[in-house]
Amino acid sequence: MPSLEILGGALTAALLGYAVHRTVLQPHESLAKNAEWLAALLLLVPALPAAVLRAQIGSTLLASLVAYSAYYCSILLATIAYRLSSTHPLTIYPGPLLCKVTKLWMVYTANTGKLHEYTRQLHATYGPIVRIGPNELSVVDVDLLSRILGSEGMPKGPLWEGRRISGKRGAGAKNNRGNLIGNRYKDRHAEARKTWNRAFTPAAMKDYEPILARRAAQLIDELKQKGATGSVDLSLWLSYCIFDFMGDMVFGGGFELMHDGDRDGIYRTMVAGLHLPALTQQIPWVAPVLPYLPWVGKHMKALGQFAFKCVTKRLQEGSVTNDLFYHLLDEVPNPEKQTPFPVIMTNAVTAMLAGSDTTAVALCNTFYCVLAHPDVYQHLREEVDVAFPPGAGDPVDAAKLSSLEYLNAVINESLRLYPSIPTSLQRAPQPGTGTHQISPTLVIDERTSILVPPYVLHRDSRYFSPDPDRFWPERWLRKDDPDVVTNTSAFVPFSSGPPNCVGRPVALLSMRMILAWMVRSFEMRLVEGYDVKQWERDLRDYFALQKGPLPVVLRSRGNM
Ligand code: HEM
Ligand SMILES: *[C@@H]1O[C@H](CO)[C@@H](O)[C@H](O)[C@H]1NC(C)=O
Ligand SMILES: *[C@@H]1O[C@H](CO)[C@@H](O)[C@H](O)[C@H]1NC(C)=O
């Protein structure tokens, strides 16, 4: 056994690995995002010591095995050592060892669905700035928000590269013109956002009101029938209603979940399809290969296909109402200018997912909070009954709904406790711009990302007290009470700054209308024996919150 040669070969390969790490991978970590370069470094470089060793010992298999594994081990160890070393730019920030070593730990945690609770625990242990990844900090500090999220802040972070959900068809739209939600370039984002802003002006909103009112009325009707004979899963029904509405609003029609149930499984597909991106967003470098793997991302592909179908249909048939597509397609000012198809696809999936899942879970959380607090329910009903007395028509007046103080305090309070996107607001310096200064002491370079977890911010007693964990709508109405702190700067369920939620007006209108209408139409209570703690146990942070069932007994209030 020529063991001396093997040892020599292994050592050479290991030294080569160390050298590659020190001179290329560590200083130019972004190189690792370029697949060709990475392949060359990982596959071709170790071929050299392998060839030398083979010439000495004769066995190709053994020579490759030794050289490649020594090379990889060396790179791995050097990477870990660097991430833990005092020369790493984030070395002064506290955090768990595993977080500093690898983002795979966050993949594991994200998979449990309890990332929001874990992140909160981290801040309780380590303070307002925690190192949650080798190159990522989580920040819970209102004074820093404007230079992270705000107009002085940064564009979206690399998380979005790991969340490309529309498969190959949408992949081309990455950072290009027209793409909005994951755009990491400020000017391109601003340009895309102009079109979207047009779709949510007060005038455009007027067009969505009757669409929403029709779906809300349908929900009440369906529930009057279904609820007559026992309990219903309100969580599912609210989701169906919101998805049906979003289908109308985005595509001018598409879903009939309330009427048909989930016949084609598209609702289940959509919910299931959110799991994988919640993991890949932690490690964006895997995303480019995902669409090519047949055994993963099956849901993503199904979703991409569904969107493809809806978009094609909508493009062929046009629409009778001014739906979101009407605005996004530039149908208004410039009918002959064609928006590229991948951009349309990405926009479609974006609107559908960004809007339906978040609004549905927000609404369910609000109903849960109200039903679990009978005194709040009582107070809310009094306000709604006065505003919309019997015989005075349905509660569809948007201006009136937005003026109801208690109703809006209830909605704020549930969005505070359960922000639909609990942890995943991420920003990073725009690629190619170097560093970004957040505070005199916090300056980050391009490979560093900053996370702002609303769930943690919203339950911080510096900003919400007393009892930040308690559902207490009154805290929003005690502006002059010195014992109550309700810091609206720390309230960011829709994020803030240039890439904040463009759909906020629609989200709030749907929540107000459906909540008011339901309260006016039904006597509601949680089923006998339902454990109120179950709701929180079921909540899963997969980018947007996912929820469990909410079994509710309904009785029509008859005269309403
Ligand atoms: C209660 C319901 C909703 C919540 C809590 C919510 C929350 C958010 C948040 C936190 C962001 C920003 C993400 C970030 O800063 O990284 C966002 C972005 C966005 N939301 Fe919403 N959203 C809701 C409903 C909607 C609706 C109904 C629509 C559309 C119809 C919508 C469309 C969008 C879009 C397009 C973006 C991307 C904006 C951009 O990148 O410029 N959302 N949403
Ligand atoms: C709810 O929060 C928003 C945003 O911070 C705020 O403008 C509004 O006044 C709040 N509503 C109530 C009733 O406090
Ligand atoms: C919110 O907190 C910040 C930082 O502590 C403070 O500067 C600001 O005045 C507070 N705002 C309100 C409305 O309490």
Q: What pLDDT digit, counting tens, does each position of 39-55 carry?
A: 888 888 899 899 988 88
Q: What is the pLDDT of residues 296-310, one digit of tens each?
A: 667 777 777 887 888
Ligand 1 centroid to 356 CA: how many Å?
A: 10
Q: What is the pLDDT of residue 171?
A: 41
pLDDT, average across residues 12-21? 91
Kindly list the protein residues whose Cβ atom lies closer than 6 A to any atom of ligand 1.
Answer: 156, 180-181, 193, 196, 350-351, 354-355, 358-359, 362, 420-421, 425, 493-495, 499-503, 506-507
Q: What is the pLDDT of residue 178?
A: 63
Residues 440, 446, 448, 453, Cα dihedral to 10°: 80
For residue 455, the tally of other CB atoms under 10 A from its CB is 23
- Dihedral of alpha carbons 421, 296, 428, 328, sign: negative
Among protein residues, the one with the nearest Cα to ligand 1's atom 18 is 501
Among protein residues, the one with the nearest Cα to ligand 1's atom 39 is 499
Distance CA 314, CA 301 (A): 20
Q: What is the pLDDT of residues 339-368, one digit of tens each?
A: 677 777 777 777 888 899 999 999 999 999
Ligand 2 centroid to 491 CA: how many Å?
A: 9
Confidence grade of residue 338 (pLDDT, cut at 50, 70, 90): low
* 246-260, 293-307, 492-506: range with highest mean pLDDT: 492-506
Q: What percent of the chain has a predicted confidence (pLDDT) above 70?
A: 92
- Output the six-digit token pair for 397: 């007046």
- Looking at the DSSP assignment, which residues form a beta bridge with residue 388? none
Best of 193, 200, 358, 511 for a ligand 1 pocket test (most atoms within 8 Å of beta carbon): 358
Counting atoms of ligand 1 from 1, which one is nearest the CA of 497?
Answer: 15
Q: Report which of residues 57 and 360 the model is more confident about.
A: 360
Q: What is the pLDDT of residue 230?
A: 84
Q: Report which of residues 346 and 114 the model is more confident about.
A: 114
Q: What is the pLDDT of residue 180?
A: 83
Confidence grade of residue 32 (pLDDT, cut at 50, 70, 90): low
Give Cα 225 distance to the centre of its chain: 35
Q: What percent of the chain has a predicted confidence (pLDDT) above 90?
A: 59
Best of 465, 484, 489 for a ligand 3 pocket test (most atoms within 8 Å of beta carbon): 489
Q: What is the pLDDT of residue 120?
A: 98
Q: What is the pLDDT of residue 331?
A: 54
Q: What is the pLDDT of residues 372-430, one digit of tens each?
A: 999 999 999 999 999 999 888 899 999 999 999 999 999 999 999 999 999 999 999 99
Residues 131, 136, 140, 143, Cα dihedral to 10°: 120
Over 70: is that where the pLDDT of 557 sits?
yes
List CB contacts of 220: < 8 A, sequence separation 6 or more. Answer: 517, 518, 521, 522
Over 60: is that where the pLDDT of 173 sits?
no
Q: Is the CB of 484 under 6 A from ligand 3?
A: no
Over 70: is that where the pLDDT of 330 sits?
no
Q: What is the pLDDT of residue 335?
A: 52
Note the ligand closest to the C-alpha atom of 464: 3
Ligand 2 centroid to 504 CA: how many Å?
A: 13
Residue type, position 97, single letter: L
Counting atoms of ligand 1 from 1, which one is nearest the CA of 324?
Answer: 30
DSSP strands (E only) in 166-276: 231-233
Counting atoms of ligand 3 from 1, which one is nearest the CA of 489?
Answer: 1
Ligand 1 centroid to 500 CA: how many Å?
A: 7
Q: What is the pTM of this model?
A: 0.92
Confidence grade of residue 95 (pLDDT, cut at 50, 70, 90): very high
Q: Report which of residues 8 and 413 the model is more confident about.
A: 413
Which of 107-121, 129-143, 274-288 has the weakest average pLDDT? Answer: 274-288
Q: Across the chain, what does the average pLDDT equal?
A: 88
DSSP, collapsed to helix, strand or coil, labels residue 524 as strand
Q: Report which of residues 304 and 554 the model is more confident about.
A: 554
Give Cα 24 distance to the centre of its chain: 33
User: In residues, how long is the chain?
Assistant: 560
Q: What is the pLDDT of residue 354?
A: 84
Q: What is the pLDDT of residue 168?
A: 47
Q: What is the pLDDT of residue 39?
A: 81
Ligand 1 centroid to 426 CA: how many Å?
A: 13
Which residue pairs, CB below 8 angstroms and at least 24 apart, start in 92-98? 93/129, 93/130, 93/131, 93/137, 94/126, 94/127, 94/129, 94/130, 94/131, 95/122, 95/126, 95/130, 95/131, 95/132, 96/122
Query: By the 8 A CB rule, do 406 and 473 touch?
Result: yes
Among protein residues, the one with the nearest Cα to ligand 2's atom 12 is 409
DSSP, collapsed to helix, strand or coil, labels residue 100 as helix
Tell me: cis bond preceding 2? Omega within 30 of 0 counts. no
Over 60: is that where the pLDDT of 560 sits?
no
Counting atoms of ligand 1 from 1, which one is nearest the CA of 363?
Answer: 1
Backbone angles phi, psi at 167, to 5 degrees: 70, -165
Q: Is the CB of 408 under 6 A from ligand 2?
A: yes
